[in-house]
Amino acid sequence: MIRSIRLHNWQTHIDSTFKFPKGINALLGVMGSGKSSVLDAISFAFFGTFPSVQQKRIKLENVITDIFTKHNTAEVNLEFIKNRKTYQITRKIERSKGTSVSELRCEGKLLESPASQRVTEYIEKILGIDYNTFAQVIYCEQNKLDQFLQIPRGQRMKKIDELLKIDRFETARSNTITLRNRITKTAQDLKSHTESLENMLKTKNLDQLASHISQLELQIETFEKRLKEIKTERDNLQNEVETLGKKRKIFEQLRERYITITTRIEHITKELENYKNMQEAESYTMEFIEKQIERLKNAQEKQKQSEKDLAVIKEKIRLDDQQLKDETEKCSQLETKKPKLEQLKKTEDAIDTLKTAQEKLVKEEALVQSKIEEETASIECLEKSGSKCPTCNTALDNEKKITITEKKKSQISELENSLVTINKEFSTKKYEIKKHEEDRQECLKYINLEKDIFEKVELIEKIKARQETQKKQFTQLLQDFSQEKIDKIEEEIRRFEATKTVLRHIQEKRDLKDQQKQAKINIEELRFRPDDFEEKTKTFTAKDKLYSTDLEKLSSLKSIHKEKSKNLAFIEEQKALIDENKKKIENMQDTAPELDRFKRVLENTQITLREQFIESINNVMDDLWESIYPYNDYTGIQISVEEGDYILQLRNIDNRWMNVEGTVSGGERMSAVLALRIAMTIILTPGMKILLLDEPTHNLDKKAVEDLAETLRNKVSNIVDFVLLITHDEAMESAVTGKLYRLERGENKEDMTEVVEV
């Protein structure tokens, strides 16, 4: 049973909460007040969808309200009781994302989250029904209370089969026929293939093939034995060739070294023959020559350093000459600027005189301005006064007042002219001060002129003294340095370097002769003959070629043996396959009658289930009819089968069954479909006993509405645990045994639903 539901930003509901007790509950309101959206929310909470979305009449995100502002989320919270346990469902929708939150709790404990489909599957297990059953049995959409009668004749049995899920028997029966035909076809194809295999095997001589394989195995065994012997000989030869190859490498290295040493000895001998003072060179020691070269290089370095120092001092003297010339010229220029210092004093005195004159003009301007203000105030006071003077309180006629006023205005005019003259004179003084200030700034550049001249004179004296010292150093260095000394030292160094080279050659020749002798001994001790290596290599190559040839022959024999063995195995496999196929064909031939029997069983089961369903529905409707329709003109109700489809009928007082369609009145028709709806709820959802009715009074007259309200209140409430009635008809208020909510909403698009508990 549904206990409560809360809608947040759901269509026209900004925040609406409904609590329901057991019995008949109702939502009353005009069209567009948001009644049906509550049923949509209940369906969405249970199964994550509702008919308008399922039939693609709207998108899920369209339920998010745009009232007041465009909201981004909508949320539904539903609480229900099943098997004495209280469950809470929360589902949330986000724009462009769909269902973003799904959550199922039991007594506050989380059971499943956040996957929407997994939550739905869990709820289906608890309720024992899926969405399709809910939508067709429990949830009666607007104008669809008589949904059974709205199904066209000829399609009702199919629709009920789908609801009962026994349409699967039809599918299974169709699949059984398809499977039987497929098995029959497969058996025929397999039989044809097996016969082809048998014809193919008749052409094969298995004994001859097996004999040929045995001969090949003997040949392979003989070749493998021979190859083993050849391989041993070849490996021994290979080891010998490798050993000789290593000796040859050493031999060639030794011979190359011997030739290199001999060539170097010959080269040194030729160089020594060209040296003239051999006896003199041999009289020197290497140590003596090294000391002489070091002495001469030190002397050479000293001369080169003196040459560098001379160049440095010469450059310093040149730079000091240039600096002395520049500083002397600067000093002369400074002397010419002395009159600027006298001009500075005169300029400062002139500025002081002008500023004093300016201050006097400022005071005069203030005095004149004050007189102007005083005279102006006097004129204003005189104009405001009556027939008496405002100063002395004497009698004052109008003519005299005008004369005094004109006189004061004349004085003000003179004062203003004086003020203009003062301003012009002030501007002239200001301009003169500016010019003198510019002259003063120019003169200030020479404020330290005498100090600068003194510093320049001191610098010139220092430069002259430094020049004197540098010239003395230059003269001293010229006495120690001469190009002739440098040339003589370089000649001596070259002579000793040549002697040093001769001594090195003599020592190197002695060492090389010893190395030449040792290299010759090493070659003789190696005892290697190049011809032995060449001969052994040829023998190995021939043996290796023989081994490779026989190896290829053995590989060829093995390939032939493998192919023959493969053919033999294939033939044996085909023989086994033929036997296996024959068994399969036999099994398939036995299966076809079994499938025929299975098809008949499916058909009989489907018919039996239909009959049981109709019998159960009719029994329940028969028990309900007297409660729902307490009149005597129709005493029974049933679903019967005519022309292969279901028909809803009522039994009249003559005990004849009449078709509900086109025969009975609107009220009787509504009672009949209500009985059918309740019966289907009891039979197909026995664990729920819930009905959701959206506008069931559509097309009913006043009397039929009153009868339906009475039936719901006094009859249906005793059979079904929970009914939620959606209606705009206030006459249905009398049907309520639980809670009645009135839903109100203005005509404006931006108005939200307001919920009032009645």
Output the 3-class SS for 185-212: HHHHHHHHHHHHHHHHHHCCCHHHHHHH
- Indicate whether 161 belongs to any domain: no
Predicted confidence at residue 469, as pLDDT, reads 81
Please give the pLDDT value at position 42. 95
Q: What is the CATH number of the domain that holds 357?
A: 1.10.287.510
Would 490 be classed as within a structural domain?
Answer: no
pLDDT at 747 over 80: no
Contact 725, 732 (CB under 8 A): yes
Strand partners, 638: 649
The pLDDT assigned to 59 comes to 92
Helical pair 398-444 and 339-384, crossing angle rounded to 10 deg: 160
The lowest-confidence range among 144-153, 349-358, 588-597, 617-626 is: 144-153
Kindly state the average pLDDT of the residues 211-216.
83
Give residue-wise pLDDT tens across range 449-463: 677 777 777 877 887
Mean pLDDT of 649-669: 85
Among 200-204, 231-235, 666-670, 744-748, name the one with the lowest average pLDDT.
200-204
Q: How do residues 687-719 score in pLDDT, each as one tens digit?
A: 778 999 888 877 677 877 887 888 888 878 788
Distance, in Å, from the CA atom of 599 to the CA atom of 590, rounded to the nearest integer, reads: 15
**Number of compact structural domains in the chain:** 1
pLDDT at residue number 636:
92
| pTM of the shown model | 0.49
Give mean pLDDT, residues 111-126. Answer: 93
Task: Decide if 91 contacts 74 (C-beta within 8 A).
Answer: no
Does any domain span residue 468?
A: yes
Residue 80 has pLDDT above 90, yes or no: yes
Average pLDDT over residues 384-402: 69
Over 70: is that where the pLDDT of 388 sits? no
pLDDT at 79: 96
User: Which of 21-25, 474-478, 519-523, 751-755 is the least confident region?
Assistant: 474-478
Q: Which of 732, 690, 678, 729 is nearest to 707 (CA)?
A: 732
Examine residue 220 and state whether it is found in any structural domain, yes or no.
no
| pLDDT, position 279 | 66
pLDDT of 53 reads 92
Can you give the pLDDT at residue 40? 94
Distance of CA 662 to the CA centre of its chain: 65
Indicate the pLDDT class of residue 26, thresholds 50, 70 and 90: very high
- The one-character DSSP state at 50 is -
Tens digit of each residue's pLDDT (9 = 90 or more) over 252-296: 888 898 889 888 888 888 877 777 667 667 777 778 878 888 888
- pLDDT exceeds cutoff 90 at 311: no
Mean pLDDT of the chain: 84
446 or 516: whose pLDDT is higher?
Answer: 516
At residue 6, the pLDDT reads 97
Averaged over 532-542, what is the pLDDT? 86
Sheet holding 85-94, edge to edge: 13-19, 2-10, 73-82, 85-94, 98-106, 109-112
Taking only the tens place, the pLDDT of each residue in 187-209 is 888 888 887 877 777 766 777 77
Q: Classify residue 80 by burial, with Cβ atoms within 10 Å: 0-12, 13-18, 19+.
A: buried
Lowest mean pLDDT among 242-251, 455-464, 521-530: 455-464
What's the mean pLDDT in 659-676?
82
Q: Cα–Cα distance between 670 and 660 in angstroms, integer?
A: 10
Task: Specify the DSSP class assigned to residue 395.
Answer: B
Q: What is the pLDDT of residue 458?
A: 80
Does 364 reside within a domain? yes
DSSP code string of 705-732: HHHHHHHIIIIIHHH-SEEEEEES-GGG
Higher pLDDT, 708 or 647: 647
pLDDT digits (tens, 9 = 90+) for 338-359: 677 677 778 878 888 888 888 8
Question: Which 3 state secondary structure label does DSSP give 322?
Answer: helix
| % of the chain with per-residue pLDDT over 90 | 17
- 648 φ/ψ angles, rounded to the nearest 5 degrees: -90, 125
Does residue 373 sit within a domain?
A: yes
Range of the domain at 373: 313-474
Q: Is residue 383 assigned to a domain?
A: yes
Mean pLDDT within 53-71: 89
Does a structural domain hold residue 432?
Answer: yes
Question: What's the pLDDT at 393?
Answer: 62
Are 35 and 18 a contacting pair, CB within 8 Å? no
Residue 25 in contact with residue 723, Cβ under 8 Å? yes
pLDDT of residue 627: 75
pLDDT grade, residue 177 (50/70/90)?
confident
Percent of the chain with pLDDT over 70: 94
